[in-house]
């Protein structure tokens, strides 16, 4: 049915299709909190280890109240995260969901992504006045779920790809790391990438830096736990001011676009890297044109861009606001402005692209 008013003509079927799609998205919005709840209360772990379970059994095993366990299970079953068997009244976490929801090292691990998203959404009220004034909202101002969720989201992908395929894609870098190289990991957050590289290359030394003191404190304790503190140190420093020079490799993992002054950072990297050194830039997967990114990954990343990464950049000097989906051409412009002469995309995954810049 078509309805015409003074201003718009509406196709009734298309309207209802859109409304029902939006109902699914309201469920998905609430599901972000449900996934984080299932992760933090141990529901997924218990279902993976002991399932199929009734709601009473899940409540008992998790030490949580039955009404919460029951309603959570039903929401998860309606969303096809679980299956429900009416005959036994038991819920099952299928093996694929179990892998994605409980295996912290798997590149398919999802709770960190949800934790990052939910933390980001919790801070969204702060952005209304910022959007009106053009002010920023810094990484350091967010709730800790943003920082922890970020680590838990990216680390599995670094674990799967960094040593195995990303570093080997760079010209001559693995040979240097094996012999003994110096590496600066800039904007390192909780140091997941720094520690993975240190574990893989025992002859090399690493300096991780980040402007956020709490992240550096966490990175320092993570390195101690991993037993690599003898070759890894961390410092609080902005990307245009980290210490040291003559580095064989400078790395930036998912942080260049968060910076207010990426060109200033590029100039500092150019001054700090050895003449035959390498700047490895890992950025969110994106094409150069908006239309390249109008897909599910682009949707999530443009969401993070609006609520997290662009406000972070705007909170700093210059406030270039590259955006999470900057794409290789704009990153290339940044490296060129910083004094690098060679540039290329050397690897990619569904979530990340790996860019190599050389002096
Ligand atoms: C999305 S997180 C990525 C953290 C880490 N590299 C990872 O992959 O898990 C972005 C990081 O950039 C850092 N950051 C933002 N602006 C910065 C700047 N100007 N200098 C140094 N670090 C910065 C933030 O503190 C945050 O830790």
Residue 108 inside a domain? The answer is no
Are 199 and 289 contained in the same domain?
yes
Does residue 154 have its Cβ closer than 6 Å to ligand 1? yes
User: In a mutational test of the pocket of ligand 1, which residue from 139, 149, 187 has the highest number of ligand atoms less than 8 Å from its CB?
Assistant: 187
Are 194 and 319 contained in the same domain?
yes
Residue 110 inside a domain? The answer is no
Report the separation in Å between the CA atom of 279 and the middle of ligand 1, taken as the mean of its atom positions.
Answer: 16
**Ligand 1, atom nearest to 185 Cα:** 6
Does residue 100 have its Cβ closer than 6 Å to ligand 1? no
Q: DSSP character for 1?
A: -
Q: How far apart are CA 310 and CA 183, in angstroms?
A: 28
Are 230 and 331 contained in the same domain?
yes
* Burial state string for 328-354 with b = 16 or more CB within 10 A and e = fewer than 16: bebbbbbbeebebeebeebbbeebbbb
Are 170 and 94 contained in the same domain?
no
Are 132 and 88 contained in the same domain?
no
Question: So what's the pLDDT on residue 174?
Answer: 98
Phi, psi of 154 (to 5 degrees): -80, -35
Report the separation in Å between the CA atom of 157 and the middle of ligand 1, taken as the mean of its atom positions.
Answer: 17
Nearest CA to ligand 1 atom 13: 187
Report the separation in Å between the CA atom of 297 and the middle of ligand 1, taken as the mean of its atom positions.
Answer: 20
Q: pLDDT tens digits for the chain (359 residues)?
A: 666 666 788 999 999 999 999 999 999 999 999 999 999 999 999 999 998 999 999 999 999 999 999 999 999 999 999 999 999 999 999 999 999 999 999 999 999 999 999 999 999 999 999 999 999 999 999 999 999 999 999 999 999 999 999 999 999 999 999 999 999 999 999 999 999 999 999 999 999 999 999 999 999 999 999 999 999 999 999 999 999 999 999 999 999 999 999 999 999 999 999 999 999 999 999 999 999 999 999 999 999 999 999 999 999 999 999 999 999 999 999 999 999 999 999 999 999 999 999 99
Give DSSP secondary structure letters for 240-294: TS-----EEEEEEES-GGG-S-HHHHHHHHHHHEEEEEEEEEEEE---SSGGGG-
Structural domain including 95 reads: 2-102
Question: So what's the pLDDT on residue 8?
Answer: 83
User: In a mutational test of the pocket of ligand 1, which residue from 189, 305, 321 has the highest number of ligand atoms less than 8 Å from its CB?
Assistant: 189
Are 92 and 129 contained in the same domain?
no
Report the separation in Å between the CA atom of 100 and the middle of ligand 1, taken as the mean of its atom positions.
Answer: 25
How many domains does the chain contain in total? 2
Are 179 and 273 contained in the same domain?
yes
Are 314 and 176 contained in the same domain?
yes
Question: So what's the pLDDT on residue 99?
Answer: 96
Does residue 215 have its Cβ closer than 6 Å to ligand 1? yes
Pairing of strands 90-92, 83-85: antiparallel
Are 83 and 119 contained in the same domain?
no
Report the separation in Å between the CA atom of 185 and the middle of ligand 1, taken as the mean of its atom positions.
Answer: 10
Q: What CATH number is attached to the domain comprising 127?
A: 3.40.50.150
Tell the residue number behind the tokens 């050397």, with chain if given: 346
Q: How far apart are CA 61 and CA 175, in angstroms?
A: 50
Are 345 and 244 contained in the same domain?
yes
Are 39 and 90 contained in the same domain?
yes
Question: So what's the pLDDT on residue 7?
Answer: 75
Nearest CA to ligand 1 atom 10: 255
């Amino acid at each position: 049915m078509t309805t015409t008013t003074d201003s718009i003509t509406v196709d009734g079927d298309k309207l209802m299709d859109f409304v029902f799609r939006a109902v699914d998205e309201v469920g998905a919005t609430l599901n972000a909190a449900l996934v984080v709840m299932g992760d933090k209360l141990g529901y997924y772990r218990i279902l993976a280890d002991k399932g199929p379970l009734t709601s009473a059994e899940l409540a008992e095993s998790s030490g949580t109240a039955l009404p919460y366990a029951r309603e959570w299970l039903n929401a998860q079953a309606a969303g096809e995260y679980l299956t429900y068997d009416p005959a036994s009244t038991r819920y099952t976490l299928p093996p694929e969901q179990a892998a994605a929801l409980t295996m912290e090292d798997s590149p398919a691990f999802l709770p960190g992504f949800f934790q990052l998203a939910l933390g980001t959404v919790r801070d969204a009220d702060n952005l209304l006045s910022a959007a009106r004034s053009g002010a920023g909202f810094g990484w350091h101002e967010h709730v800790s779920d943003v920082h922890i969720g970020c680590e838990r989201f990216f680390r599995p992908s670094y674990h799967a790809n960094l040593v195995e395929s990303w570093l080997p894609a760079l010209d001559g870098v693995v040979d240097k790391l094996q012999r003994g190289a110096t590496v600066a990991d800039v904007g390192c957050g909780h140091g997941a990438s720094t520690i993975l590289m240190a574990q893989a290359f025992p002859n090399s030394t690493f300096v991780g830096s980040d402007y956020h003191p709490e992240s550096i404190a966490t990175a320092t304790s993570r390195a101690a736990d991993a037993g690599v503190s003898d070759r890894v140190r961390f410092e609080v420093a902005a990307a245009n001011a980290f210490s040291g020079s003559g580095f064989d490799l400078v790395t930036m993992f998912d942080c260049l676009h968060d910076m207010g002054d990426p060109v200033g950072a590029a100039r500092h990297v150019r001054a700090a890297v050895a003449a035959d050194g390498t700047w490895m830039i890992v950025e969110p997967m994106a094409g150069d044109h908006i239309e390249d990114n109008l897909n599910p990954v682009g949707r999530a990343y443009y969401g993070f861009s609006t609520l997290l990464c662009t406000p972070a950049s705007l909170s700093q000097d210059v406030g270039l606001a590259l955006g999470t989906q900057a794409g290789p051409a704009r990153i290339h412009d940044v490296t060129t402005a910083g004094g690098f002469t060679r540039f290329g995309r050397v690897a990619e995954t569904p979530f990340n692209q790996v860019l190599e810049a050389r002096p």
